[in-house]
């Protein structure tokens, strides 16, 4: 299964970008042995529309455009379901084992996600009840994707 990240906003050069790259590189190297391939990061600019609802609709349209046909769509949202690392790995492994070809994990813009996109998503997850800057969300999800691979392979990186 090919894994892509979609993000509203661009990550500037710096330690956050370096850390995301480190975990995505680990995912790219370790993933193929488990049938998980890191494909790409899709970054889009934040909408400049005057109203939040319009911004969310415009950003959702950009996500829909980047979404491969038949892909599993996971949205990261503070109102989503909380999973532990094993639960997240199980979810990813289940989609892989169910024959899904693509997985897109999306980080929305500062205004949140369009309700129509949330209704269409296969899962809406949160990374804790606190609010996180988008740069840190990228680090957290990149690390959790790598951790999911290590859990699925029984690698000792994850020690629960």
Question: Is 131 labelled a binding residue?
Answer: yes
Q: Which residues lie below 8 Å from residue 2, measured CB to CB, with a gap of 6+?
A: 37, 38, 39, 68, 101, 102, 103
Long-range contacts of 156-160 (CB under 8 A, 24+ apart): 158/85, 160/85, 160/86
Question: Is 91 labelled a binding residue?
Answer: no
Question: Is 118 labelled a binding residue?
Answer: no
Question: Is 154 labelled a binding residue?
Answer: no
Q: Which residues lie below 8 Å from residue 30, measured CB to CB, with a gap of 6+?
A: 146, 149, 150, 153, 155
**157, HSE (Cβ side, Cα atoms, 13 Å):** 18
Give the three-state DSSP class for 122.
coil
Question: Is 93 labelled a binding residue?
Answer: no
Binding site for S-adenosyl-L-methionine: which residues?
76, 108, 127-132
């Amino acid at each position: 299964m090919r894994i892509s990240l979609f993000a509203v906003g661009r990550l500037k050069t710096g330690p956050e970008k370096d850390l995301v790259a480190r975990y995505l590189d680990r995912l790219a190297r370790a993933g193929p042995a488990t049938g998980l391939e890191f494909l790409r990061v899709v970054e889009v600019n934040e909408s400049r529309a005057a109203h939040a609802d319009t911004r969310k609709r415009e950003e959702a349209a950009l996500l829909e455009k980047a979404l491969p046909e038949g892909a599993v769509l996971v949205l990261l949202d503070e109102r989503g379901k909380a999973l532990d690392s094993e639960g997240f790995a199980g979810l990813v492994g289940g989609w892989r084992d169910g024959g899904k070809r693509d997985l897109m994990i999306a980080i929305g813009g500062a205004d949140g996600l369009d309700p129509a996109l949330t209704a269409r998503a296969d899962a809406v997850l949160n990374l804790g009840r606190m609010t996180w800057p988008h740069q840190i969300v990228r680090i957290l999800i990149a690390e959790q994707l790598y951790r999911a691979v290590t859990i699925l392979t029984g690698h000792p990186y994850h020690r629960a």
